[in-house]
Amino acid sequence: MDIVVMRLADGRRHQILAIVDTASGMSPAIAVDYSLTAEGVIAVLDRLAADRALPAMISVDSGRVFVGQALAAWANRHAVTLEYPRAALVSFNAHLRAACFAEQRFADLTEARPAIEAWRLAYNAGGTPDGAGSPSPEGCAHTEGAADDRQAR
């Protein structure tokens, strides 16, 4: 998990919570707001936990939202280890910045949220915008799932 800070067309800052599953490369969620707090991050994680199993470990940035007691307590309650290296997010964040902010600025969050969510879904389905021959994150997830099924037998 990482927080990407961007600016709207009028110069106001907004933050994007980028969540990437490093095993599949998919982004299961993305959140956009003017300010993201530990409580906001926890709310997103709780929504994800309602739909899927939580990982044993989450890599996070060392920013103030992630190093506080609230997220540590949440992780402890859910038996999740927080780890601070985050190399996989750098690539995702670069694609996010290039695709959503290089050529346009959103007027406000009501314009930014659906556009960024649509980008996340397209990213998951199609992989990197440069089409560098890598399979999409969804393709990787399906391949890994099939391999896991074979190993479980």
Closest CA to 91 of 129, 144, 139: 129
Alpha-carbon span 80 to 108, nearest angstrom? 34
Q: Which residues pair with 16 in a beta bridge?
A: 4, 32
**CA-CA distance, 36 to 32, in Å (whole number)?**
8
Distance between CA atoms of residues 72 and 18, nearest Å? 18
- Other C-beta atoms closer than 10 Å to the C-beta of 21 total 18
Q: What is the per-residue pLDDT for 37? A: 92
Mean pLDDT, the chain cut into blocks of 10 residues (153 residues total): 88 91 86 93 95 89 80 94 71 80 82 90 72 41 37 30
Task: Quote the domain boundaries for residue 113.
Answer: 2-152
Q: What is the CATH number of the domain that holds 146?
A: 3.30.420.10
What is the Cα–Cα distance from 97 to 47, expressed in whole angstroms? 25
Count of domains observed in the chain: 1
Alpha helix (H) ranges present in the chain?
Answer: 38-51, 64-67, 69-77, 87-101, 109-126, 137-152
Looking at residue 47, its pLDDT comes to 95
